[in-house]
């Protein structure tokens, strides 16, 4: 992966909720829009709010990973519960969580810009 002469420094936190297959293209387009022209970095996808993971969840993560890679970013998954970890491993995507871990175990990374799905209701 090329970093255009500078180390990856941008870390984006992307909070993912349960999604349908029809929403995946929009999620990817939103992520691409946020990453376009920003240089290399890491997208951190927090999946703690996913709830009951399924194959659509894994498909969304795989497509988000491809979108991130097209823009020079790596995608790491945090906050995955054991069911999602098992499903990711079974489908050959366990590497998405290797740099991650559980949300409560990770340390806050400096320079984090939090990105929230625009369709989520305000807290």
The model carries a pTM of 0.71
Contact 61, 96 (CB under 8 A): yes
pLDDT tens per residue, range 13-58: 778 889 999 999 999 999 999 998 888 889 999 999 998 999 999 9
Closest CA to 12 of 38, 42, 39, 37: 42
Contact 84, 51 (CB under 8 A): no
Domains of the chain: 10-116 (3.30.750.24)
pLDDT tens per residue, range 53-85: 999 999 999 999 999 999 999 998 889 999 999
């Amino acid at each position: 992966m090329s970093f255009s002469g500078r180390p990856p420094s941008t870390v984006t936190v992307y909070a993912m909720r349960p999604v349908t297959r029809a929403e995946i293209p929009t999620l990817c387009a939103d992520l691409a829009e946020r990453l376009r022209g920003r240089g290399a970095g890491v997208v951190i996808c927090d999946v703690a709010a996913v709830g009951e993971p399924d194959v659509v969840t894994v498909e969304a993560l795989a497509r988000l990973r491809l979108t991130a890679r097209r823009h020079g970013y790596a995608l790491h998954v945090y906050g995955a519960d054991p069911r999602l970890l098992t499903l990711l491993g079974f489908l050959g995507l366990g590497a998405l969580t290797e740099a991650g871990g559980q949300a409560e175990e990770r340390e806050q990374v400096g320079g984090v810009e939090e990105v929230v799905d625009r369709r989520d209701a305000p807290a």
